[in-house]
Structure 1
Amino acid sequence: MDYARPTELEEALLLLKQKPWTVLAGGTDFYPALGAGPLKQDVLDINGLPELAGITETDDHVAIGARTSWTEIIRHPLPPAFDMLKQAAREVGSIQIQNRGTVAGNLCNASPAADGMPPLLALDARVELRSADEGQRLVRLSEFVLGNRKTALRPGELVTAVHVPRHATAGRSSFVKLGSRRYLVISIAMAAARIALEGERIVEAAVAVGSCSAVAQRIEGLEQALIGRYISNISELVADYPLSELSPIDDVRGSAEYRRLGAREIVERALLQAAFTDAERGVAA
């Protein structure tokens, strides 16, 4: 098996053009999957590419480099619209996993239970892809993850960043995860919500649910129902909405019915937490 650790992005793209490689970043999924066995595929280690790390901001968007760790996201100063992403980052395994695991790896792994998916969907994220022949293209996250372990990556392409457009950085946000215990657990259901307010009226809403379909879903019907309504209407609107975008399954973590009921509850909680400050909800600091 071949192993390569390029130090320049163009070098990495040329290697990807030559033949298929397994791209290695944080390795938090890659190494456990190996078990006690040897490498079974050619590995392209991108940890020598500094341009793929860190968070940068432009007038148009916030760019999260493909190698950016969850710990970096937690620590980086970002507006309240990113609170849900920071909260999700704290749910990605242990602190050691958060230190090593990367945003791009979480998306490329394409697990239905990927913690990063719902908040990034609610931030209307785009995935930046590059290749030696086609250059750069941006793909909406909702069109990048196609199914369980399936993405829109083309041969020779590398995920280089995730872009959050400025229009999606308004308002406050929250992330709620339902699991069988408090920490270090794969989610049964999870929800991310972002809302922007004028007074107590909702002028913008984004809601996404994970672990209740093969791919995390934006709940667009509920988003439309929320716009123009008051925050005091949130619980009523969530209770009445059918959540038809979801297609949960039965598995060892929970039944489809339990997931659907849990999703409704955590969507309501995420929206209320985004709408009200802790002080307004009567939560002690």
Structure 2
Amino acid sequence: MKLINGKEISKKTKDAIKAEIEEIRKTGKRVPKLAVILVGDNPASQVYVRNKEKACTYVGMESLRINKDATLSEEELLKLIDELNHDDGVDGILVQLPLPKTIDEEKVLKAIAPEKDVDGFHPANIAKLFLNEEGFIPCTPYGMMVMLEEIGYDLDGKEVVVVGRSNIVGKPVALLALHHNATVTIAHSHTKNLQEVTSRADVLIAAIGKAKFFTADYVKEGAVVLDVGMNRDENGKLCGDVDFDDVKEKVSAITPVPGGVGPMTIAMLMKNTLLSYKRRVQ
């Protein structure tokens, strides 16, 4: 069993970005800049934003953090996004979710200029992903493709089962696998005989948010397992959607939780921001 180490792969990705930004700095040009808007005081959101700021510092990228009270109106937030859309010194705009219930998240995500939508959530970028055109790929699915590439796994002709159909992970990763010539099944809470479906997967992507749901019975012998889940077990310990200890002897490769897919998401955010900079400046 090979452990797919997200920390190591993300560091390798960030080191390559760091080297590229250092070369940009040497030319005297401005470096890429990511603007992050945080509305309210959600503790988990604050941790995510801090991790993004740390990654920016590590790669040598500028970061602009804009903190707003939960009382911020939707109109004020849209006005702020519009200002950042028109700021030539900002390459990526990210609004940390979730937002207060008084704000329409969909409207906010659509307000970000597609060319600065480094999260890859804007309908224009989703359409480009669907058409296999150049846009911004959502960071978590993008990270999973990089992980498979890093271990030398070719999806061509393989059977991929994605359990989860969110717009952020499930659907985009299914499209990416399809673009790599895989045969893709998207399963979900209404799928009949789920165990039978997942048991034929050469690659199982687990993204349902249920702690240790997938045991060895759900996994094909020699499969590659990518676990997107981030849950707490009965002891309060972080765990994925896959019962790691139960499946590890049966699979050929698997991502751990924590330290698997998670670190890749932020590395891909850095990569998308650099890509935005290059498209806009160079």
Name the TM-score, length of structure 1 as normaliser.
0.28
Whose RCO is larger (CA < 8 A, sep 6+)?
A: 2
Bigger helix share: 2
